[in-house]
């Protein structure tokens, strides 16, 4: 599932590619046809992201709301667009480019009031000015394990399954530790890691947990298989202990039981 860095990355990219133009919006697959007609032909004013949600705001106040979920994927083509591939829920066509969306969890047209209610249900988004003190309040008042809290979009918006493993490893924290048992000092480390990794992820359009110093090369050159320290890995890069996988909040995460205590 794309995590928050990717949603913000897509918002920036799609804003640069599509905003300021009238868009032709359609649904080759048919499931979004009725809503597509509400915005097709209108100027796209802006594209923004909060957590894992994308909002395409059109003149007149209509907004396309997209949540990619686990399987949602965008494909970009040059205009004129080729024949749709697979189940294309939404196709947005501008003068130069065409963007197809397949398999999202959510793709609908909403107004500002509904957008507000979507955002109100989310916790602070660290990439959209979300406040550290609010995240601390959400975490420190919960008896849930920190590994589950980080995935809860009401606690902090945008963190997904890869980030939680990598952030907790960098901060040296056991994912089973309850929020109420986390010291302020440990939370400060966690927040620092979270901000660093999400900012790097936004810049590069993918999660890169290792630093350029560790990898011995610039971040942009790090090969795919060397981006993570623990996620999907077998051996801890710090102590060489075997990495364990544990299930928390119904998803598998990765832990070094020696370094994360």
Which range of residues in 78-86, 159-167, 189-197, 252-260 is near Zn ion by CB under 5 A?
A: 252-260
- Residue in the shown chain whose Cβ atom is closest to Zn ion: 236
Q: Is 3 tagged catalytic? A: yes
Catalytic residue among 52, 89, 164, 227: 52
CB-neighbour burial class of residue 90 (10 A; exposed 0-12, middle 13-18, buried 19+) = buried
Q: What phi and psi values does residue 240 have, to the nearest 5 degrees?
A: 65, 5
Catalytic residue, chosen from 3, 57, 166, 170, is: 3
Strands 97-102 and 88-93: antiparallel
For residue 5, the SS3 value is: helix
Residue from 87, 95, 238, 245 that binds Zn ion (CB under 5 A)? 238
User: Which is closer to Zn ion, CB of 105 or CB of 241?
Assistant: 241
Do residues 147 and 247 touch, judged by C-beta distance below 8 A?
no
Per-residue binder mask for Zn ion (CB under 5 A), 181-220, x = binder? ----------------------------------------
Q: How many helices (H) and strands (E) does the chain have?
A: 8, 10
> Binding to Zn ion by residue 85, rule CB under 5 A?
no
Q: Note whether 54 binds Zn ion by CB under 5 A.
A: no
Which H or E run includes 17?
A: helix 4-18
Question: Is residue 236 within the footprint of Zn ion (CB under 5 A)?
Answer: yes
Write out the residues near Zn ion by the rule CB under 5 A.
236, 238-239, 241, 256, 258-259
């Amino acid at each position: 599932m794309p995590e928050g860095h990717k949603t913000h990355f897509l918002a920036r990219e799609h804003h640069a590619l599509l905003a300021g133009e009238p868009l032709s919006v359609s649904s080759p697959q048919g499931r979004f046809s009725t809503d597509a007609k509400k915005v097709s032909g209108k100027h796209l004013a802006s594209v923004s992201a909060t957590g894992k949600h994308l909002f395409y705001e059109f003149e007149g106040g209509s907004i396309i709301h997209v949540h990619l979920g686990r399987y949602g994927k965008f494909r970009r083509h040059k205009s004129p667009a080729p024949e749709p591939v697979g189940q294309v829920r939404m196709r947005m066509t501008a003068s130069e480019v065409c963007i197809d969306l397949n398999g999202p969890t959510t793709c609908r047209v909403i107004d500002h009031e509904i957008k507000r209610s979507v955002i109100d249900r989310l916790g602070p988004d660290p990439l959209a000015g979300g406040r550290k003190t609010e995240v601390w309040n959400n975490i420190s008042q919960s008896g849930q394990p920190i590994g589950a809290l980080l995935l809860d979009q009401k606690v902090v918006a945008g963190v997904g399954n890869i980030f939680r493993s990598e952030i907790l490893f960098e901060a040296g924290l056991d994912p089973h530790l309850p929020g109420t048992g986390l010291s302020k000092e440990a939370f400060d480390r966690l927040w620092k890691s979270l901000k660093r990794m999400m900012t790097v992820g936004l810049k590069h359009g993918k999660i890169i947990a290792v630093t350029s110093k560790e990898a011995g090369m610039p971040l942009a050159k790090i090969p795919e298989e060397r981006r993570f320290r623990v996620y999907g890995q077998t051996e801890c890069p710090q102590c060489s202990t075997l990495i364990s996988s544990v299930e928390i909040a119904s998803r598998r995460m990765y832990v070094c039981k020696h370094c994360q205590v």
